[in-house]
Amino acid sequence: MKSKTLKLLLSILLISISSNICGQGHYNGGSFNTNDYFIPSATGWVFSLYYSFSEMDYYNNSRKKTDVIEINENPPFSVSLGQKVKTHSIIPMISYFGKNKILNAKWGVLVLPMLNNPNANIALDFYSEQSLIDSKKINLNSFGLGDFYLQPAWLTWEKNKFSTTFSYGVWIPLGKYEAHSTEHVGLGDWSHHIRVMGRYKPKSKISLTTGFTYEINSKQKETDFKEAPHLTLDYGASYNFTMGHEVGLYGFGTWQTGEDKGEKAFLDKDQIYGLGIYGSYWLRPGKIGVLSRFTNNFGARNRFGGPSFQVGINYLLF
């Protein structure tokens, strides 16, 4: 197997992306595996298809699980959930790793459409817009085209055992969103992600990764609401086997860094943490691989938290 093929296999993307786990806004920690933030040495296309399932409960400002979300402080008003938020998502993904270099860095692009029913992000946004006059429950069985992720800027620099990567991505609000509707499948706003990550490889088969993602959101369609920015710390470690098979651990912490704005702004800031494990196996090295991952989202405050699980397949063309 050529060295370029090996490097690509070690870096292949496995994404759960934010719509499959709990949170507010579009991005959540643990969306990538340890090596997936970095551009591989080989060039070409990767086509992927994933299925994701999550089951979330809401946690209040005291980090206690509850079926009641406090909406207004004066006059006092709250909404009863009375159910878990379960999400099923189908995630096709296309990525391209380019030839030559830009600013002495390897480069790539990523596009990711979504087919899903309302996730925890959407459910929390829906309940926060309920009023004293008309309180409804979201239709968790609706299904359709969700918001679309585009990452047009993606650069990776390498020197000896160290790698650094920078990326900019944006969530485009293509998913159905109408104020006060019970059938949301999108969030109705643009979400910009700026990410810087670093990797250290003490051994050729071992990777240690850490870095930050900053998310900025636009005003939501048909409302005066603007979600506060969030900062996420991601970290992880992985081991790569001879044929490109990979196992790894990852973790994250997400913190709200500003204030929500608008009529349905939350009273208190939110945060959440997570730990996960993943594995990938190549049925045909350099061509077809399968993968799975499990994430436990915990320590939630004013957010949904709970487990999520993903399985998928990758097809390489280069």
The per-residue pLDDT for range 74-129, each reduced to its tens digit, is 544 445 555 567 777 888 889 999 999 999 999 999 998 877 655 555 555 555 55
Q: Per mean pLDDT, which range of 167-171, 222-226, 246-250, 314-318 is the poorest?
A: 222-226
Q: Tell me which residue of 254, 216, 257, 258 sits closest to 235, measured CA to CA.
A: 254
Burial letters 282-295, b for 16+ CB under 10 A, else e:
beebbeebebebeb
Task: Say what the pLDDT of residue 139 is.
Answer: 55
Q: Give the pLDDT mean for 293-303.
A: 92
Q: Tell me which residue of 308, 238, 312, 248 sits closest to 274, measured CA to CA.
A: 308
Instruction: Scan for tokens 């990767």, then name that residue.
Output: 46
Instruction: List the beta bridge partners of residue 85.
Output: 56
Q: Per mean pLDDT, which range of 43-57, 159-173, 227-241, 245-259 is the poorest?
A: 43-57
User: Domains, the chain, ranges and CATH?
Assistant: 3-317 (2.40.160.40)
Tokens, residue 42: 């080989």
Rounded to the nearest 5°, which phi and psi values hold at 18? -60, -25
Task: Say what the pLDDT of residue 280 is.
Answer: 94
pLDDT above 90: residue 177: no
Q: Give the pLDDT mean for 242-252.
A: 93
pLDDT above 80: residue 166: yes
The angle at the Cα of 72, spanning 70 to 73, to the nearest 5 degrees, equals 95
CB 228 within 8 A of CB 302: no
Q: Is 202 left (phi over 0), alpha (psi -120 to 50) or beta?
A: alpha
Report pTM. Answer: 0.82
Q: How far apart are CA 247 and CA 122, in angstroms?
A: 31
CB 297 within 8 A of CB 272: yes
